[in-house]
């Protein structure tokens, strides 16, 4: 089996005064295996998805809205991708609307639902640890006159069911909560939300940001009582630029864009056919969820055990979270400093959400962590390509950096 990571070339020069190379510099080349541990930011595209994208770009390249044969064939492929995503969520294919990714799906859900239901109430309930695409949308809605309740979280980043119950009332029109936190892996109690909405006799639509959970947790939209649910392609080994929004049959949201018949007029414009079809292929290529969970759990446990022996390392993720993500702090060494040191060794992790562009984590802040842990936080995130040997080398390099880098005061 071909290695899932590339080789990084590191070149060290030897001075020209070297006995055997007086006439010109001598270079010693060292090959380092690149270790990619930033899979919550994006994943490597799987071969099936890449091949499908190429096929759609070079063989079935028609516009699916065209009435000729090439258009029909393209539409057939798009429908097949829609069916694959619907099947993975136990939904109907008519309930899947294609988007450009998780951010657009989240924006469509919040703005679309708020505008559709604004005559029935003005209250929106979400949490302090949502993805920026939800929090930023909520802040805009606040400026438009909506009341937004940002629920706090506990020390592991979880919302309490009691606080949810108190927040949801007859004036609530939208409840938006992520299934899995993208920075810590904390799993939120989304299975309780629809029951609370019903108990409060609320008109609220329930939206779930499932970008980090899709393909990793069993999500059955009907069983959960979800009205709207966002997923993304590039978190499941599909290409960037593709995603979907599940809209339960009978639910109405107001579109953000106008000017085309595509996607039931909810998301008009020519579809990114190669990307969407590749996303469908990535969904079909997903491994057995239970078996992969067990494998990720083993890797997570192993990494926790190795890090436990490092005196300055503190784990920020809860043990009952998604095993694909482990957030840690190397106290005293700023995240950026450690990231650069590891990158020099061909090891790639992150300091939090890629969308935050290096800003301090609002998630860890909401969890009440001390400033020194927030400033030194690292997110290690696995994929099905991650191996124990990679984690072993990561730990070795992390420990070496911990011992040699200057600590902040």
- Rounded CA-CA distance 140/259 in Å is 24
Structural contact between residues 124 and 176, judged by C-beta atoms closer than 8 angstroms: yes
| Three-state secondary-structure class, residue 120 | coil
Architecture of domain 47-284: 3-Layer(aba) Sandwich (3.40)
Collect all residues with Cβ–Cβ distance below 8 Å to 99 and sequence separation of at least 6: 105, 108, 242, 243, 244, 245, 267
Q: Categorize the per-residue pLDDT at 262 as very low, low, confident or very high, splitting at 50, 70 and 90.
A: confident
- Rounded CA-CA distance 286/298 in Å is 19
pLDDT recorded at residue 11: 47
> pLDDT tens digits, residue range 160-197?
999 999 999 999 999 999 999 999 999 999 999 999 99
Q: Categorize the per-residue pLDDT at 109 as very low, low, confident or very high, splitting at 50, 70 and 90.
A: very high
| C-alpha to C-alpha distances, 348 to 5, 30, 44, 48, 393, nearest whole angstrom | 11, 18, 13, 24, 12
The conformation of residue 119, written as its DSSP 8-state character, comes to T
pLDDT recorded at residue 353: 60
- Rounded CA-CA distance 106/211 in Å is 10
Structural contact between residues 156 and 321, judged by C-beta atoms closer than 8 angstroms: yes
**Is the predicted pLDDT of residue 1 greater than 90, yes or no?**
no
**Is the predicted pLDDT of residue 352 greater than 90, yes or no?**
no
14 compared with 138, residue with greater pLDDT: 138
pLDDT recorded at residue 5: 41
> pLDDT tens digits, residue range 291-301?
999 999 999 99
CATH code 3.90.1150.10 for 33-45+287-404? yes
pLDDT recorded at residue 7: 53
| C-alpha to C-alpha distances, 261 to 48, 66, 95, 145, nearest whole angstrom | 30, 12, 16, 31
Sort strands 313-315 and 325-330 into parallel, antiparallel or unpaired.
antiparallel
Closest by CA position to 349, among listed 368, 328, 365? 328
pLDDT recorded at residue 3: 42
322 compared with 33, residue with greater pLDDT: 322
- Rounded CA-CA distance 390/38 in Å is 13
The sign of the CA dihedral 112, 115, 116, 122 is positive
Q: Categorize the per-residue pLDDT at 141 as very low, low, confident or very high, splitting at 50, 70 and 90.
A: very high
User: How would you list the strands of the sheet with 243-247, edge to edge?
Assistant: 96-99, 243-247, 228-232, 205-209, 172-178, 123-127, 147-151
Per the prediction, the chain carries an average pLDDT of 92
Q: Which of 46, 277, 355, 395 is catalytic?
A: 355
pLDDT recorded at residue 278: 98
pLDDT recorded at residue 19: 45
Task: Locate the domains of the chain by residue range.
Answer: 33-45+287-404, 47-284
Instruction: Give the CA-trace dihedral at 362, 366, 367, 372, to 10 degrees.
Output: 60
Q: Categorize the per-residue pLDDT at 408 as very low, low, confident or very high, splitting at 50, 70 and 90.
A: low
The conformation of residue 140, written as its DSSP 8-state character, comes to H
pLDDT recorded at residue 261: 79
Model confidence pTM above 0.75: yes
Q: Categorize the per-residue pLDDT at 303 as very low, low, confident or very high, splitting at 50, 70 and 90.
A: very high
Q: How many alpha carbons lie under 13 Å from residue 358 in its C-beta half-sphere?
A: 7
pLDDT recorded at residue 16: 44
Does the active-site annotation cover 355?
Answer: yes
Q: Categorize the per-residue pLDDT at 18 as very low, low, confident or very high, splitting at 50, 70 and 90.
A: very low
Residue listed under structure tokens 């003005």: 122
- Rounded CA-CA distance 378/392 in Å is 16
Name the percent of the chain lying above pLDDT 70: 89
**Is the predicted pLDDT of residue 13 greater than 50, yes or no?**
no
Phi, psi of 39 (to 5 degrees): -75, -15
Q: At what angle do helices 69-88 and 273-284 cross, to 10 degrees?
A: 40
User: Which residues, listed in sequence order, are joined to residue 247 by a DSSP beta bridge?
Assistant: 228
């Amino acid at each position: 089996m071909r290695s899932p990571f590339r080789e990084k070339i590191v070149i060290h020069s030897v001075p020209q005064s070297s006995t055997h190379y007086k006439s010109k510099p001598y270079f010693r080349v060292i090959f380092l295996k690149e270790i990619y541990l930033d899979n919550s930011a994006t994943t490597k595209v799987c071969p099936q998805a890449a091949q499908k994208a190429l096929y759609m770009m070079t063989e079935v390249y028609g516009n699916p809205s065209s009435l000729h044969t090439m258009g029909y064939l393209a539409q057939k492929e798009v429908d097949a991708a829609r069916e694959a995503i619907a099947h993975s969520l136990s939904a109907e294919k008519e309930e899947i609307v294609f988007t450009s990714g998780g951010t657009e799906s989240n924006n469509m859900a919040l703005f679309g639902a708020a505008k559709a239901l604004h005559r029935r109430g003005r209250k929106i309930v979400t949490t302090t640890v949502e993805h920026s695409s939800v929090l930023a949308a909520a802040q805009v809605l606040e400026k438009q006159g909506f009341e937004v309740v940002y629920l706090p979280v506990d020390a592991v980043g979880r919302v309490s069911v009691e606080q949810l119950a108190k927040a949801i009332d007859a004036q609530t029109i939208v409840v938006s909560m992520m299934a899995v936190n993208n920075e810590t892996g904390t799993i939120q109690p989304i299975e309780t939300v629809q029951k609370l909405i019903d108990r409060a006799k609320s008109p609220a639509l329930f939206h779930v940001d499932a970008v980090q959970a899709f393909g990793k947790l069993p999500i059955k939209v009907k069983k959960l009582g979800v009205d709207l649910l966002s997923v993304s392609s590039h978190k499941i080994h599909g290409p960037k630029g593709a995603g979907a929004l599940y809209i339960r049959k009978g639910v109405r949201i107001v579109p953000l864009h106008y000017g085309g018949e595509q996607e039931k007029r909810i998301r008009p414009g020519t579809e990114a056919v190669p990307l969407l079809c590749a996303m469908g292929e990535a969904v079909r290529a997903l491994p057995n969820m239970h078996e992969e969970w067990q494998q990720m759990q083993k890797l997570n446990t192993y990494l926790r055990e190795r890090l436990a022996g490092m005196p300055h390392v503190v784990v920020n993720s809860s043990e009952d979270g998604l095993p694909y993500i482990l957030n840690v702090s190397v106290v005293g060494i700023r995240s950026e400093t450690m990231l650069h040191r590891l990158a020099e060794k061909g090891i790639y992790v992150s300091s939090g959400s890629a969308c935050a562009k290096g800003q301090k984590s609002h998630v860890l802040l909401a969890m009440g962590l001390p400033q020194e842990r927030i400033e030194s936080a690292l997110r290690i995130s696995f994929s099905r390509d991650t191996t124990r040997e990679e984690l072993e080398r990561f730990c070795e390099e992390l420990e070496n950096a911990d011992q040699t880098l200057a600590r902040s005061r």
